[in-house]
Amino acid sequence: MPELLAQPRWVEAAQALIGGCLDLGPRQEGAIALMETVCNGLGDQLYPAFLRVLAEVNLRGEYAARAAVAQTLAQSLCQGRLPSGSRAAWGAHQAGVQRRSLGPIEYLCLAAWPRTGESRGAPELSPEQFQTLAGAVMELLDCDAEARLLYAGHLCAVADDPLDGTMPREVRAALRAFAQSWRSHPDASRACAAFVESLSRAGR
């Protein structure tokens, strides 16, 4: 199983991803395959590291570079190959439970939600951590209007799937409002703040 380095080389990883998307061509098969290979190589345990690389791309990349990565993510979504991390249904604590793959933003939304039931406890991400990571990935996708609209639509579809046990009802409702806000206004901080407020109301 891959292990995260004691001092991960985030900048180098971000540069490599940017270089691949630019050299191979955004939306092209080669760039999609590269992103897929990187994510699959990390595996579920290290999927958050892939999200950190995307955040680093947003932080350090020039606009054209960020747009190339956003376009590659959008094309991956269109092909059903969005780099995803696997999570068990909410509240599940037994081995062998059904799992579902979640893309970057919905993965972070679920990680920020306080666990309930027998697995009650603090969320994996604090509100501040959620806003930093989710905001960075969203800002990255904001570099291409089509990418933002496609991903926001994808989030609405995830939220509207009542047969999926991955997210409790409260998370799906908050995710739907979050996606609709982002789709209407390319403002990551605004949408993230609304989601965090939903977290706060649900915890009262």
From 100, 94, 91, select the one nearest 170 (Cα to Cα): 91
| pLDDT at residue 198 in the model | 80
| pLDDT at residue 121 in the model | 59
- pLDDT band at residue 113, thresholds of 50, 70 and 90? confident
Q: Answer whether residue 2 is part of any domain.
A: no
Q: Answer whether residue 36 is part of any domain.
A: yes
Q: pLDDT digit string (tens) for 24-37?
A: 998 899 999 999 99
Would you say residue 20 has pLDDT above 90?
A: yes
Mean pLDDT of 7-36: 91
Q: Which residue has the tokens 């059903």?
A: 80
Q: Answer whether residue 69 is part of any domain.
A: yes
Q: Answer whether residue 1 is part of any domain.
A: no
Q: pLDDT digit string (tens) for 163-180?
A: 666 788 888 889 999 999
Domain count, the chain: 1
| pLDDT at residue 91 in the model | 52
pTM listed for this prediction: 0.88
Q: Answer whether residue 129 is part of any domain.
A: yes
The residue range of the domain holding 73 is 10-202
Would you say residue 118 has pLDDT above 50?
A: no
Q: pLDDT digit string (tens) for 127-142?
A: 899 999 999 999 999 9
From 196, 174, 203, 171, select the one nearest 91 (Cα to Cα): 171
Most confident of 18-27, 93-102, 193-202: 18-27
| pLDDT at residue 135 in the model | 95
Mean pLDDT of 80-100: 70
CA distances from 94 to 81, 97, 114, 145 (A): 28, 6, 19, 41
CA distances from 60 to 87, 100, 120, 183 (A): 29, 31, 37, 25
Q: Answer whether residue 74 is part of any domain.
A: yes
